[in-house]
Structure 1
């Protein structure tokens, strides 16, 4: 008799859901990394601009250029604030998707564990039935010897 797991379709469905959750999680990680890298580049640009401005202030800088730099730094700070919010949202979404993935993974593990236990039970029943048949054959052979 061939082994057939009664929840095989459910197991395959749960495995497919887990794979989809894995894909979504990878996408959210990518979005988070992209936003974080962009934020880092903006922070680096602001730092470089401020150090450049400090150097230029030591050598002398026209007021118009100082205003221009201050305006530019203000715009960069607004962009930085925006990207900080994006990074926070991306991190929260990534953490949520990670929790979803872990939940799907646990569900798949549960069904795999059920399948393993069910298969072991099937093997034990098959072994018991085989032993019973061997006993029956032995009894019949003994009875045939007795008859002769």
Structure 2
């Protein structure tokens, strides 16, 4: 007796595809040993880590804005937000951190959060995807240690984008 076909064919990449992509990014990071030795100094590493930390902090601010505007999304977004915070901390580890802005300091202008939860989540998915793509490109030029970290965080960001996009449907 034949098995019935599934009633719904899942859209988007499957888990195997995401894992294969993550493995491919990791392999690329391992192959980045061809970077220019002159660029592999502490200053290049510090610059790459600081830039990546700043990107993670920007994404973290976006999560915070969505959570402030849509508290009902907290259960769904907090685990992803926590991972983004951990990514920022990992990039900041071993670098000179910039002090947190004081209450009187002007806050950077943030993108407005869409009024509909679905649109806000879709915006987060797009931000995660864009940052993951940029990190995948940047790891090819980054010093080895940072390239490996960028590869890992890019894979996590791609997974976040997928989870957010699937939930926004």
Structure-1-length-normalised TM-score = 0.33
Structure number, greater radius of gyration: 1
Q: Identify the structure with the greater helix proportion.
A: 1
Structure-2-length-normalised TM-score = 0.30
